[in-house]
């Protein structure tokens, strides 16, 4: 019985030694593959990320995302309104001096 376990241990050691010996080549191959691959565009990466993590979102996280998006939209609308008001004020000031 101990003879079998020693053979198993020797086989495991040989497997680990083989993996260690092949690791530098595997790392180099992975590096070469990455260097020769055209990077994906940001939208595709973002869509892939969303698809992978969509199921992991809790209801509270979804609600927080919606609140943040509505806050961002409100700020955008206020900025556009302020820009419009500033443009009108500049135009009227310019017209009054002519």
Q: Say which residue, 40 or 49, is predicted with more confidence.
A: 49
Give the predicted TM-score (pTM) of the model. 0.40
Which pLDDT does position 35 carry in this prediction?
78
The rounded mean pLDDT for the chain is 84
b/e map 63-73, b = 16+ CB within 10 Å: eeeeeeeeeee
Per-residue pLDDT tens digits for 27-36:
888 888 877 7
Helices (H), the chain: 2-36, 42-53, 59-96
Domain boundaries in the chain? 1-36, 59-98
Residue appearing with tokens 């000031």: 93
Residue 75 vs residues 4, 62, 71, 80, 86: alpha-carbon distances, Å: 71, 20, 6, 9, 16
């Amino acid at each position: 019985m101990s003879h079998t376990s020693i053979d198993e241990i020797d086989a495991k050691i040989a497997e680990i030694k083989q993996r260690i010996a092949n690791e530098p080549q595997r790392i180099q191959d992975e590096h070469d593959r990455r260097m020769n691959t055209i990077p994906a565009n940001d939208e595709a990466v973002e869509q892939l990320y969303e698809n992978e993590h969509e199921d992991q979102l809790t209801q509270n996280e979804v609600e927080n995302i919606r609140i943040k998006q509505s806050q961002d939209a409100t700020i955008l609308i206020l900025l556009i309104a302020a820009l419009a008001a500033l443009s009108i004020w500049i135009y009227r000031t310019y017209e009054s001096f002519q």
